[in-house]
Amino acid sequence: MSNRILLIEDEEDIRKTLEGILTREGFTVDFARDGLEAMQKLEEVSFNLIILDLMLPKWDGFKICKTIKQHKLYKDVPVIILTAMAQEEDRQKCLSYGVDEYIKKPFDPDFLIKRIKELLQKTPRKPITS
């Protein structure tokens, strides 16, 4: 059974690139293009890890991140921020919400995969529902 990842990214080129990288590594990938779609997916399906952009339509990544990390069902799901926002204050804000990793775009795919695998190894596996 593969780990299921929710990819929250509105830029189609980046989303397709990430989807290809992740599926080649054996992950099951669902995606959302905006914050509201992301929250709807989280209500429908259990995920083992979330990759989140900060600059999104409808709900921005900060609001999604804070909501996820304060929710009793999602708070233990690892969250990786993958963003072009390079300001240290943005990074600190995300870390204060409890994100597990903050990676700036452009990113190194090998580093991203390494961090995903590390985070999944130290997170208790929950059953996946669909």
Tens digit of pLDDT per residue, the chain (130 long)? 589 999 999 999 999 999 999 999 999 999 999 989 998 999 999 999 999 999 998 888 899 999 999 988 888 999 999 999 878 999 999 999 999 999 999 999 999 999 999 999 986 655 444 4
Strands 101-104 vs 79-83: parallel, antiparallel or unpaired: parallel
Q: Where are the domains of the chain?
A: 4-122
Q: In angstroms, what CA-CA distances link 119 with 10, 69, 122?
A: 24, 15, 5
What distance in Å separates the CA atoms of residue 87 and residue 1, rounded to the nearest whole number?
38
* 32, β-bridge pairs: 8
CATH architecture for the domain at 4-122 = 3-Layer(aba) Sandwich (3.40)
